[in-house]
Amino acid sequence: MPADRFRSLPDGRRIPSLGLGTWQIPDGPPIANAVRWALKIGYRHIDTAQAYGNEAGIGRALRESGLPRDEVFITTKLDPKLADPVAEAERSLARLGIEQLDLYLVHFPRGGPTRHWRGMERAQAEGLTRSIGVSNFAVSDLEAVLAFATIPPVVNQVQLSPFQHRGRLLAACAQAGVTVEAYSPLTRGAELDDPTLARVAAGYGRTPAQVLLRWALQHDLVVLPKSVHRDRILENSQIFDFSLSDPDLALLDGLDRTGGTPEAIENKWWTRSGRLRGVAWRLRERLRG
């Protein structure tokens, strides 16, 4: 088995480096089918969140797969609008139909980066989750948690791709020993026709999506592509039998549009200014349409 199929977390646990992202996949048949196909193909890592509303369907597919619980890594994320990480972890476990999470993340730093951390530590201490971490935390957020924590976060899950490389954030996570997970690694389809990406993919006889995912693996990231299509779920898994050359990695790194930012995301939708920007963007799109 290729060595890059797993990453070691700072607390000594292992995490599969490829996971199925499930954002915007509705509960019921859509999520159950996607998870069922992924597990049959060989995925052993499913990433969800309380805010996604699809934990019950994921649990159903996990039970129907017949796989032993310890063979599948399950992550969910605390909705920071809710007050008690312990109580919400218990509710997530009930929806998923499992006894313990593998990883529990603060979804985004609403109310401040340390607001929920003591509750996250209690959730781990009470055995509700094996590991705890954060998501959408910028360098300043991460530094605040690390200074505050008794148990430091082992993961920061962030929107990452060659187009959102976030060099200073990645460097800060590496220095702190925090494993980085990449969500939306396929740019939600927006950059799959980029000419540089297409040229690199053609040179390996691979799809642009596979090259984006391979780029993430070779930057030591855990990668979380999302799809509801069986053929694409399969395609996204076929990334362990080739490697990108150093010149091609550098070429892809040059696609970064963030200036190596320390920020985790450009539009912090959980803030008032972020919500206003989101409203303005939707209004512009409606007027264009």
Task: Read off the pTM.
Answer: 0.92
Determine the pLDDT at residue 267. 81
Cα distance between residue 62 and residue 8, in whole Å: 24
Q: Could you say which of 43, 52, 104, 183 is catalytic?
A: 52
State the angle between helix axes of 195-204 and 246-253 in degrees (0 to 180), rounded to the nearest 10. Answer: 160
Instruction: For residue 43, indicate whether it is catalytic.
Output: no
Q: How far apart are CA 191 and CA 259, in angstroms?
A: 17
Cα angle for residues 185, 36, 219 (degrees, 5° grid): 25
Classify residue 127 by burial, with Cβ atoms within 10 Å: 0-12, 13-18, 19+.
Answer: exposed
Supply the pLDDT for residue 278: 47
**Which residue from 269, 272, 186, 283 is spatially nearest to 232, judged by alpha carbons?**
186
Q: How far apart are CA 172 and CA 176, in angstroms?
A: 6
| Per-residue pLDDT, 281 | 41
Burial of 133 (0-12, 13-18, 19+ CB in 10 A): buried
Query: Which runs of consecutive H residues, i.e. helices, occur in 189-261?
Result: 195-204, 208-218, 230-237, 246-253
Tens place of pLDDT per residue across the chain (289 aa): 345 899 999 999 999 999 999 999 999 999 999 999 999 999 999 999 999 999 999 999 999 999 999 999 999 999 999 999 999 999 999 999 999 999 999 999 999 999 999 999 999 999 999 999 999 999 999 999 999 999 999 999 999 999 999 999 999 999 999 999 999 999 999 999 999 999 999 999 999 999 999 999 999 999 999 999 999 999 999 999 999 999 999 999 999 999 999 999 988 876 755 555 444 444 554 565 5
Confidence (pLDDT) at 268: 80
The pLDDT value given to residue 285: 43
